[in-house]
Structure 1
Amino acid sequence: MTLTQLEYVVAVATFKSFVAAAEKTFVTQPTLSMQINKLEEELNVKIFDRYKHPISPTEVGAKIVEQAKVILTEAKKIDELVNKSQGKVSGTFKLAVIPTIAPSIIPRLLDKYSDAFPDVSLTVIEAKTSEIIEKLKNDEIDCGLLATPLDDNRIKEIPLFYEPLVAYFNKEEKALSKKNGKP
């Protein structure tokens, strides 16, 4: 059993397709299928029901997928530990951003980030708030930039800045007259 095989298993479970999983893991579909077949032979179980569309894990396959996620997360921590002990910051940082702030934040962030961490590959995705929260809880991303404060003890929240919300009126607006008082 290899970490690569486990990565392929998680990818197939995530994308529910061998073809899509192969594309996302940058290998050919036959290579991905062969590695999963080898793992199934080694474990003497079927991980995926290939007759269902979309592809889904078998009962034992679902448990294998969950354990594979744990193993891959822990393996990533080992890499980070070694790099940190050597004074290096490397690897991949997965950032999710809501579409409303992505255009204003991402361009400024990319330049500063690549200068500060040249050995770290930055992956940026746009997603809805609910999707970002779910990805954080499932350890699928490292950070999410949201505009809504959360009340979830499983997610650490660090305010980056506060934007004032300002109302603008025409000077002649009647709602602003002394007779009506100021809003």
Structure 2
Amino acid sequence: MTLFQIEVLIAVADVGNFTRAGEQIGLSQSGVSHTIGSLEKELGISLFVRNRHGVQLTAVGEEIVASARAILVQTDRIKSIASQSVGLIRATIRIGSFPSATERLVHPLIQEIRSLYPMWETRLFEGTYEEIREWLSTEVVDVGFLSFPEEGLECFPLIDDPLKAVVSARHPLAMEASLTWEQLASEPFIMPMAGCELLLYEEFGKRKLHPRIKYEVVDNATILAMAEAGIGVTVVPALTLPPTLPQVRVIELSPPVHRQIGLAVRSLADCSPPVTAFVREARRYLSSFR
């Protein structure tokens, strides 16, 4: 028995006529008749009762057609799996990320992805949170690293990134084991403007504090240089801190605060198989960073 014979059998069972079945599957009436005759001979039974109006399934024919339909469903499933596998061989994944996530998370993740899918190409778009949201909504990127929560996107949490106070090594507060938000609000403050400023305003606001913001700076290296010079104090995510620090002290916050970093897509159900695989591997690989 072949898949072709099964397809012809089901076509005849559906329309009850050899000629119309042949028209549906691109086969002549004699070709359909020959195929069904060969199948009946192979099985040693009659599948149809012939009459002048067409054909009708026998009792055993009905049972066989039910099984034949199940075979075709599984055949389609096999084809779908194979098709998705082919799609995973070559793909381009467009990634939106912000600077601190790029260096500490995205670069090692890309290396991991390349080892798993060597034929994949990755393209990186680096920007602010707002730019990444826009890139996702306009389909410039397939996935985006963002600080959560994010409305209107399907999001997958990856790591919790603690916020840290940073002061000059010569600052009177440098010897403190931890710093309160009240202490920070009373000092000249350098506000980081790469995205976490919203979280900082929220934390100060919860306590009805009004920080003495003297500078608003985007670049992390500039923020640390200003803190080192004693121009002001600041609060930054731990992920932004370089392995080798300038003459500054990194101090715990009291109470501690974290930003949650995750991966966002427009809708996972609408993602291509490669993008779905990328999200899965990112969640698996970056779980070790928690």
Q: Which has the higher contact order (CA 8 A, sep 6+)?
A: 2
Counting strand residues as a fraction of each chain, which structure ranks higher? 2
Structure 1-normalised TM-score? 0.46
Structure 2-normalised TM-score? 0.30
